């Protein structure tokens, strides 16, 4: 590829000072770590908020928390987790680190803009956290920020809280656009010699399509945020109907709260796939490496990712079945939502079929990947309940929904995050994460999250509503339901505490972990083939890698080892006695190009 | 092989849990059993597929775990298998979607014979409306909302004049008749949800949304708000009673029409309701209201009266006894009167109205007209009958205007300060100033809540429009709930 | 080859990627062109969603389109003037782009200067329209139609303004005669960007101030609230 030729001839301008190396860095690897650490810190704050929330639900009265504070925690927990942790970590963290390496590029195509993207992200986090300290506190309208309540009295944080929230989101969207531009353009333009689109690992495909979704969907959130900001500060009536608020007539009229919901969910549904698709891609790679087997049905996997991405734009109103929108829309959106289940199901089958007839090494990353399969299937199946409009009617706004989205966004992708960090830590730092702590962390996390969220679905079937500060005095709730809440709270507290094991492992192993070989898992994809571990500035040394095959040549018959890296040509790997059939396989499987 | 074992345990545990769990459907009280059926179908399909995948996963983990000499198979793809899987998955999807859409079609097709009620949500309580005899609702707009007209009905619309207004958090619906719930909000988004009915729908300010159902099982059911609507969201509960047609009609008849509610004011309305009930139901046929001898004890000055019962015991008539005598007359018969009274199955609200009416007949208590004399304040200290009745009146006013949604009387802090030991206490406000909670302060807090916000509370109390008399009553009620007193009392 | 290597890149920092900017890749396009098209896709998404919101909201009874006979934009002369200014700036950029191909440095400078001038005139003209509306009492929150007008023209103007920042850079380089390669590339990108914003402006103009009946007809297809 033309990019690769030029990249080899060019001088590398290596940063020299501490500041340009580690702070104002334009190196994608450093930016990735900056993004990831910021996201993890934000996530730990949100995790703490959830612990406090669970204390109120399960053990009310133990902490002194009033309803306003509870709702503020609910809102901040949700917003931080979805946007500032999951999106930032998958796109800004994993995207930044993996894309150039897996494509064989030296860096992203616009490194300066990439650097700016991180600092805008950090700014957005600071603005969001600042809302804890303004009069009235942070917004308590729920992460969905529905008007009119988000900006009227009666909801906590309807003053400065919501204003800072909206500004923070706008800044984040600018950051995401700058980053997204880099990720997409780099994948399209900066692949190395021989790296066709259909030879890319699925991690890249997942992040690539997710980024396209982000670029097209975040504008919808931006539009809603601008209009809500104007409604709040300048008393326009985009979303605000004629109404009273706590006895006072307000001077709005004609606006539509449902318009906000359409715009918000037009963003909101692709958003969940922005989180899920990178997880899908990454878990495919982890499974195939640790099963020593190519991913089953690579081409179908790529098409499934693209199909899911495209379909994700036409399902949004399944979040609005009981919103008061035109009831006939329910027919359309139920249909599209259930259709999107099919490419998703294909992916699940293919993951399991990859394991079948494999050579399964049950390393910590592999354990997390397997846990992902189970929890994603359970969480995804409950999505089918909610997608089918009539079934959603009794279940909407109950704990069934809370259980579903936690399982499918909070458990499954987070398990992939952990697995991915255990998997790539040796490449990023040159050391292995401690295996024993890894196993303990895994078991507590997997079993804990399952015990929390599986039973929670049944509370939803019972009719227990979500976003309630307290459940005292409701006759239809049996005493045992309150007992389950206590159980969930206790498990959640143990689970939350156990995450410090992971943090400890990361810090401890950075200094004292076993030194890793460059390719400890014996994987095929390019990131493992850098001359230095951790990779140096420019990643590849003088010459960029030349790719001869796809990223999944594991256990190829006739090959001397159970993997053939992407850069290995047939001549190098075929023995003189190779049969014709074996030679064909050794030439490297070439899924036909798009 | 720990992972395979754990997976197996989790899967088996989940299946067992599903069949043994106590947390399942509430007993259904509507026609929407088809929704339950859809949930079961979906559970069956998804459950079987999940089990199949899980079992296969466990099998694969056991059979293909690494061991020396094991080599993985090299098979990039298997198009035939993939297309089979796509086909089977599609069948499963269709198998859930098709019946689901059929049931949904029922859900959005209101039967012609359905009657209607309107549920109006406001932060943080429910109000209801039935069309009057003309069968049609009058129009409404937020700009008409005030203390007298909390539903914002258009006073100039003739169709609305006979609409029945229900301000307490309780709605009756007749059993067995399909009903369309028209939903309206005057402020923010809410959601009307009764788990036993299965249906729910958001209330959206600016539009009228709806759903329909047929109530099938008599009983009293909780209405939950299911759309986060501010700090009081978790406490925005109401009740729906599914009743026999007759009982429903009695209940409905006891509700004021819009026209009546405009002219009367809430408190007067209650007494008027009581009077209407007493006359309409025939109470006054036996119980005189002016002290003259009659077939049954006179209601004039009945509260506080020492009475001998048929079994010889002595009681003092209080509200509890009065109410019991209506609903279960034979429990404590008064000596000297024939035991001929039938039981009346009135609602709490109807009983409230009768109590209010009976009290209003008392010589030294307040007048029946809304423009009440304010000598109530003289009664508010000391333990005379007048003070207790005023305080109890205050209890009614509080419940009518949903004060208890935010203010408890037992000491628990809800959204607003508790009224227990409020009067006579020292209050600290958000601006740092303090004051003793005397009557003037109590009155100000009711009529102008934003003037002084108590520290530690949110400034979310709505302005309420009450008559002098109602405010007096509330003050008396607050005092009755306080063990404190101020100097000079 | 050397001239590519030693150029500082579009990004003001130093990095190897300046080379990537000059070479063909996806669909034979230069990397920066690809990036521009992606940005235009994002901007399209943004404006399409805003315009959809406009059409949806316009179905509610309190709506009062600004081009109704009793409203100020029934007289569109100022808006047409502005439109012609924006057209001229697009033409100027296209002229500059042609001059790049023929290597005519004086021509490039001329084209760029005219483009900038016309753009500024457009922006001033837009602010003039705002002023006229405000003078007649048509504020941001007077009517939802007004709100959308101000917001959409502001957003469009903001995009033009950001483009002007790149224009300043190009002008600076063209004037100093250094880095002709950069001048060539940025002129090409600006031309594309300006054409996009002109086409977008035509659409916005039509939606915001076109014949009220036509707008109402379009809106009726979006009557989803």
Residue labelled with tokens 């255990």: A422
Out of A422-431, A583-592, B420-429, which region has the weakest mean confidence (pLDDT)?
A: A583-592
Q: Is residue C9 domain-resident?
A: no
The answer to whether B215 and B176 are in contact (CB under 8 A) is yes
B373 vs B24, which has greater pLDDT?
A: B24
In this prediction, residue C28 has a pLDDT band, given cuts at 50, 70 and 90, of low
Token pair listed for A249: 């007539």
The answer to which of A358-372, A508-522, B304-318, C195-209 has the lowest mean pLDDT is: B304-318
Quick check: C60 and A257 in contact, CB under 8 A? no
Residue A535 to chain C, least CA–CA distance (Å): 17
Q: In chain A, what is the greatest distance between 2 CA atoms, to the nearest angstrom?
A: 89
What is the CATH classification number for the domain harbouring B350? 1.10.760.10
Q: In terms of residue numbers, what domain contains B151? A: 115-260
B317 contacts B305 by C-beta, under 8 angstroms = yes
The predicted pLDDT at position B92 comes to: 95
**A32 CB-side CA count, 13 A:** 23
pLDDT surpasses 90 at A583: no
Nearest CA in chain A to B228: A467
B381 lies in a domain? no
Contact (CB, 8 A) for A373 and A347 = no
> Of C16, C56, C62, which is closest to A259 when you measure between CB atoms?
C56
At residue B448 the predicted structure's pLDDT band, cuts being 50, 70 and 90, is confident
Quickly state the pLDDT bin for B465 (edges 50, 70, 90): low
Q: Which of B369, B399, B431 is the last residue of a domain?
A: B369
DSSP string covering B153-222, please?
Answer: B-TT-GGGTTPEEE-SSEEEEETTS-EEEEEEESSS-EEEE-TTT--EEEE-TTS-EEEEE-B-S-EEEE
Statement to judge: residues B135 and B39 lie in one domain: no
Does the pLDDT of residue C153 top 60, yes or no? yes
Mean per-residue pLDDT, B30-39: 97
CA distance B160 to chain A (A): 20
Are A136 and A161 within 8 A, CB to CB?
Answer: yes
Please report the pLDDT score of residue A572 as a whole number. 80
* Structural domain includes residue B156: yes
Same domain, B99 and B120: no
- Average pLDDT over chain C reads 85
Mean pLDDT of B97-112: 97
Read off the pLDDT of residues A339-380 as tens digits, 9 standing for 90 and up. Answer: 999 999 999 999 999 999 999 999 999 999 999 999 999 999
| Residue from A355, A411, A347, A340 nearest A378 by CA | A411
Residues B365 and B431 in one domain: no
Domain containing C86: what range? 30-221
Maximum mean pLDDT: which of A588-592, B124-128, B336-340: B124-128
The whole-number average pLDDT for the span B366-371 is 38
What is the reported pTM? 0.84
Nearest chain A residue (CA) to C59: A254
pLDDT of residue C24: 55
Assigned domain for B145 exists: yes
Sort strands B200-203 and B190-193 into parallel, antiparallel or unpaired: antiparallel
Q: Compare B450 and A227 and report the one with higher pLDDT.
A: A227
Mean per-residue pLDDT for B75-80? Answer: 87
Give me the CATH number covering residue B205: 2.60.40.420
Residue B224 domain-assigned?
yes
Judgement on whether residues B176 and B294 belong to the same structural domain of the protein: no
> B146 and B252: one domain?
yes
Q: What percent of chain A has pLDDT over 90?
A: 88
Inter-chain touch A6–C61, beta carbons under 8 Å: no
pLDDT in tens, A192-206: 999 999 999 999 999
B64 vs A245, A348, A359: nearest CB:
A359
Going by pLDDT thresholds of 50, 70 and 90, the confidence category of residue C77 is: very high
Same domain, B438 and B311: no
CB contact under 8 A, A111 and C13: yes
Q: Residues B98, B128: one domain?
A: no
Q: What CATH number does the domain containing C186 carry?
A: 1.20.120.80
Which residue, B237, B260, B283, sits at the end of a domain?
A: B260
What Å distances lie between residue C40 and A82, B289, B297, C21, C195, CA to CA?
Answer: 26, 83, 87, 18, 11
Q: Can you tell me the mean pLDDT for C45-59?
A: 95
Instruction: Place B387 in a pLDDT band, splitting at 50, 70 and 90.
Output: very low
Domain end (from B302, B335, B369)? B369
Please list every residue in chain C whose beta carbon sits closer than 8 Å to the beta carbon of residue A217: 45
CA distance A472 to chain B (A): 9
User: Which chain C residue lies closest to A317 (C-alpha atoms)?
Assistant: C224
* For range B29-47, the mean pLDDT: 97
Of B23, B49, B232, the CB nearest to A461: B23
Residue B375 lies in a domain: no
Q: Would the pLDDT of B373 be above 60?
A: no
Inter-chain contact C63–A258, Cβ cutoff 8 Å? no
Residues B149 and B38 grouped into a single domain: no
Whether the per-residue pLDDT at B451 is higher than 90: the answer is no
Tens digits of residue pLDDT in B129-171? 999 889 999 999 999 987 778 899 999 999 999 999 998 789 9
Indicate whether B460 pLDDT > 90: no
pLDDT at residue A576, as a whole number: 62
In a domain, C161, yes or no: yes
Picking from B23, B39, B60, the nearest residue to A385 by CB comes out as B39
Average pLDDT over residues B7-32: 96
The per-residue pLDDT for range A244-270, each reduced to its tens digit, is 988 788 999 999 999 999 999 999 999
Partner-chain contact C15 A112, CB within 8 Å? yes
In-domain check, residue B163: yes
B69, A322 contact by CB (below 8 A): no
Chain A nearest-CA residue for C5: A10
- Chain B partners within 8 Å of A552 (Cβ): 76
Query: Is C124 part of any domain?
Result: yes
| SS3 (DSSP) at B315 | strand
Q: Is there a single domain that holds both residue B353 and residue B284?
A: yes
Most confident of B2-11, B68-77, B286-295, B431-440: B2-11
- pLDDT over 90 at C205, yes or no: yes
Residue A514 pLDDT class (50, 70, 90 cuts): very high
Give domain status of residue B379, yes or no: no
**pLDDT at B384 exceeding the cut of 50:** no
A536 touches C: beta carbon within 8 Å: no
pLDDT for res A589 = 60
* DSSP classification of residue B317: -
A69-126 per-position pLDDT tens digit: 999 999 999 999 999 999 999 999 999 999 999 999 999 999 999 999 999 999 999 9
Q: What is the pLDDT of residue B368?
A: 38
Cα dihedral A336, A337, A340, A341, rounded to 10, equals -140
| Chain A with chain B: Cβ pairs closer than 8 A | 348
Residue B203 and residue B95 share a domain: no
Asked whether residue C199 is assigned to any structural domain, the reply reads yes
Residue B121 counted as domain residue: yes
Q: What percentage of chain C has pLDDT greater than the value 90?
A: 64
- Please give the pLDDT value at position A108: 95
Q: Which pLDDT belongs to residue A119?
A: 97
pLDDT for position B376: 37
Contact A343, A303 (CB under 8 A): yes
Counting the structural domains of chain C, the total is 1
Write down the mean pLDDT value for chain A: 94
Whether the predicted pLDDT of C16 surpasses 60: no
Distance CA B305, CA B310 (A): 16
Q: What pLDDT, on a 0 to 100 scale, did the predictor assign at position A1?
A: 52
- Residue C26 has what pLDDT? 63
Q: How are the residues of chain C apportioned to helix, strand and coil, as percentages rounded to the nearest 5?
A: 75, 0, 20
Is C99 among the domain residues?
A: yes
pLDDT score at A316: 97
pLDDT of A20: 83
pLDDT at residue B479 in the model: 80
Please give the helix or strand (H or E) that residue A234 lies within, else none: helix A202-234
Q: What are phi and psi of A247, to 5 degrees?
A: 90, -15
Q: Do C49 and A220 touch (CB under 8 A)?
A: yes
Chain C residues lying within 8 Å of A10, measured CB to CB: 5, 16, 18-19
Taking CB atoms and an 8 Å limit, are B50 and A356 in contact across chains? no
Interval A452-511: pLDDT, tens: 999 999 999 999 999 999 998 899 999 999 999 999 999 999 999 999 999 999 999 999
C52 versus B274: which is more confidently predicted? Answer: C52
Residues B245 and B275 both lie in one domain: no
Domain count, chain B: 4
Which chains are adjacent to chain B, needing at least 3 Cβ pairs under 8 Å? Answer: A
Distance from CA of A202 to the nearest CA of C (A): 19
| In a shared domain, residues B152 and B271 | no
């Amino acid at each position: 590829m033309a990019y690769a030729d030029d990249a080899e001839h060019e001088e590398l301008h290596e940063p020299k000072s501490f500041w340009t190396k580690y702070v104002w860095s334009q190196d994608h690897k450093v930016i990735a770590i900056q993004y990831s650490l910021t996201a993890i810190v934000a996530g730990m704050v949100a995790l703490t908020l959830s612990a406090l929330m669970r204390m109120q639900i399960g053990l009310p009265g133990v902490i002194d928390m009033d309803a306003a504070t509870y709702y503020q925690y609910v809102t901040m927990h949700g917003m931080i987790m979805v946007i500032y942790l999951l999106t930032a970590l998958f796109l800004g963290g994993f995207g930044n680190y993996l894309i150039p390496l897996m494509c064989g590029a030296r860096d992203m195509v616009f490194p300066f803009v990439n650097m700016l993207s991180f600092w805008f992200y950090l700014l957005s986090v600071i603005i969001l956290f600042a809302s804890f300290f303004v009069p009235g506190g942070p917004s308590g309208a729920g992460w969905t920020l529905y008007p009119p309540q988000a900006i009227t009295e009666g909801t906590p944080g309807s003053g400065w809280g919501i204003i800072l929230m909206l500004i923070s989101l706008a800044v984040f969207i600018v950051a995401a656009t700058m980053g997204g531009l880099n990720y997409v353009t780099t994948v399209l333009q900066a692949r190395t010699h021989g790296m066709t689109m259909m030879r890319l690992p699925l991690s890249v495909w997942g992040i690539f399509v997710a980024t396209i979704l982000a670029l097209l969907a975040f504008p919808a959130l931006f539009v809603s945020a601008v209009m809500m900001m104007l409604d709040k500060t300048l008393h326009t009536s985009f979303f605000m109907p004629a109404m009273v608020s706590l006895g006072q007539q307000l001077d709005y009229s004609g606006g539509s709260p449902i318009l906000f919901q359409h715009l918000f969910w037009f963003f909101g549904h692709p958003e969940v796939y922005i989180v899920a698709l990178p997880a899908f891609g990454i878990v495919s790679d982890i499974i195939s490496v640790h099963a020593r087997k190519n991913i089953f049905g690579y081409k179908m996997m790529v098409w499934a990712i693209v199909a899911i991405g495209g379909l994700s734009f036409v399902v949004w109103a399944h979040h609005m079945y009981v919103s008061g929108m035109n009831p006939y829309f329910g027919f359309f959106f139920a249909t599209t939502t259930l259709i999107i289940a099919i490419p998703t199901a294909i992916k699940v089958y293919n993951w399991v079929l990859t394991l079948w007839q494999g050579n399964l090494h049950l390393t910590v990353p592999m354990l997390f990947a397997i846990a992902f399969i189970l929890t994603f299937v359970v969480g995804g199946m409950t999505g089918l309940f909610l997608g089918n409009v009539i079934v959603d009617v009794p279940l909407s706004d109950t704990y069934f929904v809370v259980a579903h989205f936690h399982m499918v966004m909070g458990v499954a992708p987070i398990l992939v995050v952990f697995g991915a960090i255990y998997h790539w830590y040796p490449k990023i730092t040159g050391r292995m994460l401690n295996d024993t702590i890894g196993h303990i962390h895994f078991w507590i996390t997997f079993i804990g999250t399952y015990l929390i969220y599986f039973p929670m679905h049944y509370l939803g079937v019972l009719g227990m509503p979500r976003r309630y500060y307290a459940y005292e005095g409701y006759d239809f709730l049996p005493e045992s339901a309150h007992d389950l809440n206590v159980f969930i709270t206790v498990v959640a507290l143990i689970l939350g505490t156990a995450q410090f094991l992971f943090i400890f492992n990361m810090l401890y192993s950075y200094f004292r972990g076993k030194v890793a070989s460059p390719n400890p898992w014996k994987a095929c994809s390019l990131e493992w083939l850098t001359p230095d571990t951790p990779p140096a500035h420019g990643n590849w040394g003088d010459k960029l890698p030349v790719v001869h095959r796809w990223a999944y040549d594991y256990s190829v018959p006739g090959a001397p080892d159970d993997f053939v890296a992407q850069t290995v040509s047939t001549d190098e790997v075929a023995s003189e006695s190779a049969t014709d059939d074996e030679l064909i396989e050794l030439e490297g499987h070439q899924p036909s190009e798009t | 092989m720990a992972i395979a074992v754990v997976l197996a345990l989790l899967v088996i545990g989940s299946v067992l849990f599903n069949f043994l769990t106590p947390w399942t459907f509430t007993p259904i009280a509507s026609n929407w059993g088809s929704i339950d059926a859809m949930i079961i179908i979906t559970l069956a399909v998804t459950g079987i597929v999940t089990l199949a995948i899980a079992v296969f996963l466990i099998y694969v983990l056991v059979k293909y775990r690494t061991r020396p000499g094991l080599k993985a198979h090299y098979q990039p793809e298997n198009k035939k298998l993939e297309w089979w899987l796509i086909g089977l998955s599609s069948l499963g999807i269709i198998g859930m979607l098709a019946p689901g859409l059929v049931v949904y079609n029922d859900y959005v097709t209101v039967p012609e014979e359905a009657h209607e009620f309107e549920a109006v949500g406001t932060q943080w309580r429910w109000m209801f409306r039935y069309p009057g005899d003309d069968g049609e609702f009058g129009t409404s707009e937020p700009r008409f909302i005030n203390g007298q007209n909390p539903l914002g009905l258009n006073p100039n619309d003739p169709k609305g004049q006979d609409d029945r207004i229900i301000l307490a958090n309780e709605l009756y619906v007749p059993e067995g008749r399909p009903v369309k719930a028209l939903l309206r909000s005057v402020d923010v988004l809410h959601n009307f949800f009764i788990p036993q009915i299965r249906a729910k729908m958001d209330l959206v300010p600016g539009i009228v949304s709806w759903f329909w159902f047929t109530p099938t099982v008599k009983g009293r059911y909780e209405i939950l708000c299911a759309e986060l609507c501010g700090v009081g969201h978790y406490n925005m509960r109401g009740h729906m009673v599914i009743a026999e047609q007759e009982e429903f009609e009695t209940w409905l008849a006891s509700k004021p029409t819009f026209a009546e509610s405009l002219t009367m004011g809430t408190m007067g309305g209650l007494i008027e309701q009581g009077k209407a009930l007493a006359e309409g139901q025939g109470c006054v046929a036996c119980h005189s209201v002016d002290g003259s001898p009659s077939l049954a004890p006179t209601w004039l000055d009945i509260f506080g009266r020492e009475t001998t019962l048929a079994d010889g015991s002595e009681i003092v008539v209080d509200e509890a006894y009065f109410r019991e005598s209506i609903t279960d007359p034979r429990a404590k018969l008064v000596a000297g009167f024939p035991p001929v009274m039938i039981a009346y199955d009135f609602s709490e609200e109807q009983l409230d109205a009768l109590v209010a009416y009976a009290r209003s007949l008392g010589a030294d208590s307040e007048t029946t007209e809304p423009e009440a004399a304010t000598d109530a304040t003289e009664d508010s200290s000391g333990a005379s009958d007048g003070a207790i009745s005023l305080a109890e009146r205050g209890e009614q006013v509080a419940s009518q205007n949903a004060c208890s949604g935010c203010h408890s009387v037992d000491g628990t802090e809800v959204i607003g300060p508790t009224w227990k030991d409020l009067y006579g206490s020292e209050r600290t406000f958000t601006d740092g100033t303090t004051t003793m909670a005397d009557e003037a302060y109590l009155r100000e807090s009711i009529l102008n809540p934003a003037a002084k916000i108590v520290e530690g509370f949110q400034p979310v109390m709505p302005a309420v429009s009450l008559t002098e008399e109602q405010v007096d009553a509330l003050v008396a009620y607050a005092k009755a709930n306080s063990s404190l007193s101020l100097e000079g009392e | 080859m050397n001239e590519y290597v030693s150029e500082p890149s579009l990004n003001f920092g130093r990095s190897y990627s300046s080379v990537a900017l000059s070479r063909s890749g996806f669909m034979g396009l230069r990397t920066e062109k690809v990036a521009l098209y992606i940005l235009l896709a994002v901007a399209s998404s943004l404006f399409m969603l805003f315009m959809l919101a406009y059409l949806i909201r316009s179905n509610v009874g309190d709506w009062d389109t600004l081009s109704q006979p009793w409203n100020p934009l029934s007289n569109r002369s100022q808006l047409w003037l502005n439109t012609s200014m924006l057209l001229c700036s697009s033409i100027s950029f296209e002229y500059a782009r042609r001059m790049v191909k023929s290597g005519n440095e004086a021509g490039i400078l001329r084209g760029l200067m005219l483009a900038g001038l016309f753009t500024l005139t457009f922006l001033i003209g837009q602010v003039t329209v705002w002023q006229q509306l405000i003078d007649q009492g048509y504020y941001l929150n007077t009517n939802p139609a007004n709100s959308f007008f101000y917001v959409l023209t502001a957003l469009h103007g903001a995009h033009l303004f950001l483009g002007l920042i790149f224009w300043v850079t190009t002008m600076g380089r063209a004037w100093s005669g250094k880095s002709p390669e950069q001048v060539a590339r940025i002129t090409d990108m600006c031309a594309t960007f300006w054409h996009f914003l002109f086409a977008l402006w035509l659409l916005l103009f039509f939606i915001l101030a076109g014949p009220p009946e036509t707008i109402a007809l379009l809106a009726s297809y979006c009557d989803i609230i």
